[in-house]
Chain A
Amino acid sequence: MNVRQKRRFASMLVIAIMFGITPVVNAMHIMEGYLPPKYCIAWGILCIPFLVAGFVQMKKIVSEHRRALLILAMAGAYTFVLSSLKIPSLVTGSSSHPTGTGLGAVLFGLSIMSILGVIVLLFQALLLAHGGLTTLGANTFSMAIAGPFLSYGIYKLGEKMKLPKVLSVFLAAALGDLFTYCITSFQLALAYPSEVGGIVASAQKFLGIFAVTQIPLAIIEGIVTALVIAALENYAKSELEDIGYLKIDVAKEGK
C-alpha cells in the first residue's frame, strides 16, 4: 500500500468502527463520571422545581386515595421493566432499550412521571449500571422531564385537534423519544464543546452519531406505544378509568 491507500484505509476503518459500535450502545443515558461537576450540579438544580411540584402533587393524591400509592408504585415498576426490555431494531439487526417515558406520560400524566422517572433512573443506575449517580440530574432532565413534557404536550394537542388517538400517541412517543435524545446530545455538547466550531459543531457530532440507532428506535417506540394504547382501549377500559383520577387531579391543579 502506498501512503494514500493507507490513509484511505485508515479513514474507512474509523468510519466502520463508528458504525459498528453504535448499535450496541444504549445512547440515551449519560454514563457515570462523564459530566464535569458544575454541569452535574446545574442540571440537578434545574430539575428541582419539577420534582418538588411532582412530589407535592403525589402527596396530595396519596392522601386522598390511599390505594394510589400502590398504583403509583406499579406504574414506576412498569416503566422500569419497559425500559429494561430490549426491543429488536429493524435496521441494524441489534437491539436497544426504549425510554418508556412517552407511554408513562400519556398514561399517568406529567408531574407523576417526573418523580417516577427519577426513581426509575436511580434503579437503572444501581441495578443495570445505565446512567449514574452524579449524572442523575442531567439524565432526569432529559428523560424524566423534557421527553415526557413534549410527549404530553403533543398528546394533548392531538386530542384538541381531534386527530385519531393512535396517531397522536404515535407522534407523542416518537417525538418525545427524539427530543430526549436531542437534549442528551445537547447536554454532552454543552459540557464538551468541539475544538473547531464550539458547542454547535459538537452537538451536530453527537446527534449524527446517535441518529443511527435513535431514529429507528424512536419510530419503533412510537409504533409499540400506539399499539399498546390501542390494545388497552380495547380490553382494559375499566383499568384506564381506574388510574384516571391520577390525571384528573393533575388537570384540576392546572386550572
Chain B
Amino acid sequence: MMDKIAYSSKLREKNPCLKTVFAVGTLLLCIFTRNLLFSSFILIGMGLLLKTYVKTSLHMWIHLIVVPILFVILSTITILINISKEPLSGFAVPIGAIYLTASKEGIKTSCNLAMTAFASISCLYFLSLTTPVIDLLTVLKVIRCPSLIIELILLIYRFIFILANTASSIHTAQKCRLSETNYRTLLSAWSQMLAILFVLALKRSRAVYDAMEARCYDGRINVLLEMPQVSIKEKWMLGGYFGFMILLAIIIGL
C-alpha cells in the first residue's frame, strides 16, 4: 500500500494542509486547462519532486507507473477509434466492409486527454506518497468535515490493516491445504474466507468497543493531532508557485 511509502517520505513532516493545497490546486489547474503542453510540464515537475523526496523500490515505482498507463491507453483507444463505414481524416484500418478510424481532431483531443490524465495522476501520487491518511484527517478537520465522518475514517483506516492481515493469513493457511487445486475449490475457499473474515471482523469490533468503553469512551474519540507550523517562506513559495502556474496556464491557453 502506498501509505507505507508516505510515512518514510522526506516531506512527511511538512504541514499536511500545505501539501494538500499544493497537490489538489495543481490537479484542478491541470483539469481546467486540459492542455498537452501544460500537462506535460506538470507531469515532469511532479515526477522530479517525487523522485527527490520519495524513496521506494524500483519494483514499486514500476507498479505505480504501469497500472495507470494501461488504463489510460485502453480508455483513450476506446475514445479515439470509431467504427464507421466512411474513413475519417486521421487514419483508417479496414476490417471487411467497415473501418476502424479516427479524425485528426480526435487524435489531438485524445493526446490532450491522455496527458491530462497522466499529469493528474502524478498530482494524486504526490499527495498520497507524501501524506499519510492520518495527516489528511487534520485537513478534513480544517475544512469542517463532520466529526462522525472523521472518526469513521480513522476507525476504518485502522481496521483495514487488521482485516487485510487476517485475510492474508487465512489465505496462506488455505493455500497450505491445497485450496488452489482447481477453480471450484478456489472459489469455495474464497467464499469461506470472506464469511469467516466477516465473523472475525464483528468479533473484533465488539472487543474494540469493550476496550474503548473500559477507557471511558463517551461517543467521541479525542486524539491529539499534530499540526506542523507553516513558515512564512513556505506560504510565499506556495503563493508564488500558483501565481506562476496560473500565468503559465493563461499564456499557453492563449
Partner-B contacts on A (CB < 8 A): 7, 10-11, 14, 18, 21-22, 24-27, 31-34, 36-37, 40, 55, 58-59, 62-63, 66-67, 69-78, 80-82, 84-85, 87-88, 90, 103, 107, 115, 119-120, 122-123, 125-129, 132-134, 188, 192, 194-197, 201-202, 205-206, 209, 220, 223-224, 227-228, 231-232, 235-236, 239, 242-243
Bound complex: CA A238 to CA B28 (Å): 48
Known: A119-B153, A220-B187. A231 touches B78 (CB 8 A): no
User: Mask for B182-203, Cβ within 8 A of A = 1, else 0?
Assistant: 0100111011101111110111
In the complex, whether B245 has a CB less than 8 A from a CB of chain A is no
Interface centre among B82, B124, B149, B187 (most CB of A within 10 A): B124
In the complex, whether B234 has a CB less than 8 A from a CB of chain A is no
Top 8 A-B residue pairs of the complex, sorted by shortest distance between their CB atoms: A33-B120, A227-B191, A73-B155, A77-B159, A231-B195, A76-B156, A74-B205, A70-B205
Listed by A's residue number, 27 A-B pairs whose Cβ atoms lie within 8 Å are: A11-B95, A26-B71, A33-B30, A40-B31, A59-B148, A69-B219, A76-B152, A77-B159, A80-B156, A81-B160, A82-B194, A84-B164, A87-B190, A88-B186, A107-B198, A129-B68, A129-B124, A195-B105, A195-B106, A197-B82, A201-B82, A224-B194, A231-B191, A232-B195, A235-B199, A236-B198, A239-B198
Known: A25-B71, A70-B208, A78-B163. A34 touches B27 (CB 8 A): no
Q: Is B194 a contact partner of A31 (Cβ separation < 8 A)?
A: no
Interface centre among A90, A122, A129, A223 (most CB of B within 10 A): A129
User: Mask for B129-157, Cβ within 8 A of A = 1, else 0?
Assistant: 00001001000000000101101110111
Partner-A contacts on B (CB < 8 A): 1-3, 24, 27-28, 30-32, 34, 64, 67-68, 70-75, 77-79, 81-84, 86, 88, 93-95, 100, 102-103, 105-106, 113, 116-121, 123-125, 127-128, 133, 136, 146, 148-149, 151-153, 155-160, 162-164, 167, 183, 186-188, 190-192, 194-199, 201-206, 208-209, 212, 217, 219
Bound complex: CA A58 to CA B2 (Å): 30
B188 contacts which chain A residues (CB < 8 A)? 227
Bound complex: CA A71 to CA B204 (Å): 9
Bound complex: CA A142 to CA B172 (Å): 33
Known: A31-B121, A123-B157. A195 touches B88 (CB 8 A): yes
Interface centre among B123, B146, B157 (most CB of A within 10 A): B157
Known: A40-B31, A194-B82, A196-B84. A33 touches B116 (CB 8 A): yes
B133 contacts which chain A residues (CB < 8 A)? 123, 126-127
Nearest residue (CB) in A for B115 is A33
Known: A123-B133, A134-B31. A77 touches B163 (CB 8 A): yes
A120 contacts which chain B residues (CB < 8 A)? 156
Known: A26-B71, A33-B30, A58-B148. A78 touches B198 (CB 8 A): yes
Q: Is B159 a contact partner of A132 (Cβ separation < 8 A)?
A: no
Q: Is A24 a contact partner of B164 (Cβ separation < 8 A)?
A: no
